[in-house]
Structure 1
Amino acid sequence: MLLSEQSYKRIDREVAKFPPEQKQSAVMSALAIAQDEQGWLSPEVMQDVADYLGMPAIAVQEVATFYTMYNVNPVGKFKISVCTNLPCALSGGEKAAQYLKQKLGIDYRETTADGQFTLQEGECMGACGDAPVMLVNNKRMCSWMSNDKIDSLIGELGAQRGAEMSGQGMAGSAAASTLVPGMPAGNVPITTSSMTLDTK
């Protein structure tokens, strides 16, 4: 077994939501839990999930490779998905993407040399009125991403990483409760069950 005891307990809680003969229905949650711990889903991890749920490994791989929220290759500490669907593209999405590529020095499906940022294209995120839209680590949605807001976001994420490495314990704090630097005063992130939305 490749995952921690805590992760298997989390998977067990997801499995318990389904009838015993349908525990394979927990595969999406199990993959998300495995990815939370490992950072990405290696073939070995997918095999482990398959064995734990009693299903063919190819069935697990089909799920993991179908949805863009799963990382089947190593990614950086912060994976930034840029919506490239038509509404975002017509509302500055392509310009925002080009600015982000230039700022990070990478293209889609690439990771910065320091292992900090990975950039990828994303499908519609259901926030067409907030374009350009970006998603950080599948959990934090960032709206109306101007160049200034992109600068602030990258600076903030870099500071989080620096604090982690220096042992100051800031990891995840912004995604949970704080504003993106540069956001207008009086606006706060709206936290849903699994995603934080940075509002205009």
Structure 2
Amino acid sequence: MPQLPAPDYPADVRARLEADAREVIARYPGSRSALLPLLHLVQAEEGHVTRTGIRFCAELLDLTTAEVTAVSTFYSMYRRRAGGDYQVGVCTNTLCAVMGGDAIFDELKRHLGVENGETTEDGTVTLEHIECNAACDFAPVVMVNWEFFDNQTPETAKRLVDDLMAGRTVEPTRGAPLCSYKETSRILAGFPDERPGAVEATGGAGPASLVGLRLAKGEVAPGRSTDHVIAPRTPAAGPTDEPPGGHPEEPPPSGHPSSHDAPQKTADSDPDHPAGPIAEEGE
């Protein structure tokens, strides 16, 4: 049996979406490059990407509905069916998992009575496991509509979803104030978040992730005395004596930017498991 054509939006909704879509499309040199934000735009209208939304995107971008469907089903941030007002994602990638993410996810499934990708009976919470969201410093991490809730435990995560379902105010650990899934989708479409506190909100990585940046700026290496200041690397002034492999014959002198990382002749770096001197080739 052939599938019926997708219905169109009501005239007033269509006019409003078209005005927003034209604004988005104008940001790109080629119209088809606007497909990802347009999918967020139609998702903001109905809470998931419907056949109507796919048809809308295809018409405005001069694409086929097959091309739009292929993109909307490839990326996990686009819903294929209706979900809750709050998408609660538990990171179960390696670091969060070993720090307790798996336990949190299992406990929330039991507590909410849902499985991965399912929504609670009251339509408030959709639970899913998510991949790494670059918040490893704060593992295990739970995200609600892509806002961070750091250093969670099964108990704090249960309180979080209980507060969401009860309509109580919930504050993310960092970043912007929490909003609904539809509101989040509109922000991801590229429209400004004008809510009080949203503009001033800041997130950012934790101290462990910023070590490399500190080293690049020549700041003191963490955990080391002020004698070990890491200087920015500069190009060599002339030919070097390095062998073809690119490594110096001897470890750099003490105080050199890389002295603490240089190969050692013994296992001094692991005092709990000492070893004898490393044999040179030919010995």
Shorter-chain TM band = 0.7 to 0.9
Distance 1:61 1:97, change over 3 A: same
| Greater helix share, structure number | 1
Q: 2:137 aligns with which of 117, 125, 129?
A: 129
Gaps of 5+ in 2: 1-7, 178-186, 189-197, 207-283
Cα distance between partner residues in 1 of 2:142 and 2:19 = 32
Cα distance between partner residues in 1 of 2:109 and 2:72 = 26
Cα distance between partner residues in 1 of 2:120 and 2:165 = 12
The residue that corresponds to 1:93 in the other structure is 101
Cα distance between partner residues in 2 of 1:108 and 1:7 = 32
Distance 1:142 1:8, change over 3 A: farther
The residue that corresponds to 2:43 in the other structure is 35
Cα distance between partner residues in 2 of 1:67 and 1:152 = 30
The residue that corresponds to 1:166 in the other structure is none
Cα distance between partner residues in 2 of 1:152 and 1:6 = 38
Cα distance between partner residues in 2 of 1:199 and 1:98 = 27
The residue that corresponds to 2:164 in the other structure is 157
SS across alignment from 1:145: coil
Structure 1 contact 84–122 (Cα < 8 Å) conserved: yes
The residue that corresponds to 2:175 in the other structure is 190
SS across alignment from 2:128: strand
Moved more, 146-155 or 125-134: 146-155
Structure 2 contact 149–174 (Cα < 8 Å) conserved: no
Structure 1 contact 107–119 (Cα < 8 Å) conserved: yes
Q: 1:179 aligns with which of 156, 171, 175?
A: 171
- Please identify the structure whose Cα radius of gyration is greater: 2
| Greater strand share, structure number | 1
Is residue 107 of structure 2 the alignment partner of residue 115 of structure 1? Answer: no
SS across alignment from 2:127: strand
Counting aligned pairs with the same residue, the percent is 28
Gaps of 5+ in 1: 164-173, 181-187
Deviation at 1:198, TM superposition (A): 11
Q: 2:155 aligns with which of 148, 154, 178?
A: 148
Q: 1:24 aligns with which of 32, 48, 51?
A: 32
Superposition map of 1:27-66 within 5 A: 27-66=35-74
CA displacement, residues 94-149 of structure 1 (integer Å, 9 cap, x when unaligned): 00101111111111021112222111121211111211112222x31221121332
Cα distance between partner residues in 2 of 1:111 and 1:179 = 22
Q: 1:9 aligns with which of 19, 25, 47?
A: 19
Deviation at 1:14, TM superposition (A): 1.1
Cα distance between partner residues in 1 of 2:132 and 2:174 = 20
Cα distance between partner residues in 1 of 2:28 and 2:81 = 30
Cα distance between partner residues in 2 of 1:51 and 1:131 = 43
The size of the alignment, in residue pairs, is 175
SS across alignment from 1:90: helix
Deviation at 1:85, TM superposition (A): 1.1
One-letter amino acid of the structure 2 residue matched with residue 179 of structure 1: E
The residue that corresponds to 1:168 in the other structure is none
Deviation at 1:90, TM superposition (A): 1.1
TM-score by length of 1: 0.76
Structure 2 contact 103–154 (Cα < 8 Å) conserved: no
SS across alignment from 1:110: coil
Structure 1 contact 189–199 (Cα < 8 Å) conserved: no
RMSD between superposed Cα atoms in Å = 2.7
Deviation at 1:199, TM superposition (A): 10
Cα distance between partner residues in 1 of 2:58 and 2:38 = 9
